């Protein structure tokens, strides 16, 4: 294995990781900012108010994006498995 191969493989793995996690992180960020603005406007400082909406939205997003996320992960795994003969050389 060459250093270029290892770096390329690591870059692809990081790219897939970021691509798969971004929808859920983005939803959590949007809901978190919205709840924070609501708390600042109404001066309600309840800690559970920040966690419960985020958890619900992330779970809904997981249900919505799970098929796409699974396809991305399966594609990466299939690519890794089919390239095993080339990795050995």
Residue 20 near residue 84, CB atoms below 8 Å: no
pTM here is: 0.79
Among residues 7, 64, 57, which one has the least CA distance to residue 32? 57
pLDDT value, residue 72? 96
Predicted confidence (pLDDT) per residue in 2-34, tens digit: 888 889 899 999 999 999 999 999 999 999 999
CA 20 – CA 70 distance, rounded (Å): 9
What are the tens digits of pLDDT across the range 29-70?
A: 999 999 999 988 988 888 788 889 999 999 999 999 999 999
Cβ contacts of residue 79 below 8 Å, gap of 6+?
12
What residue spans define the domains of the chain? Answer: 3-88
């Amino acid at each position: 294995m060459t250093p270029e191969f290892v770096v390329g493989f690591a870059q692809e793995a990081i790219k897939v990781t970021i691509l798969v996690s971004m929808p859920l992180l983005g939803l959590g960020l949007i809901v978190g900012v919205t709840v924070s603005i609501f708390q600042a406007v109404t001066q309600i400082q309840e800690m559970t108010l920040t966690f419960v909406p985020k958890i619900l939205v992330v779970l809904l997003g997981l249900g919505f994006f799970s098929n796409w996320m699974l396809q991305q992960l399966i594609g990466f795994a299939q690519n890794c498995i089919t390239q095993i003969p080339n990795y050995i050389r």
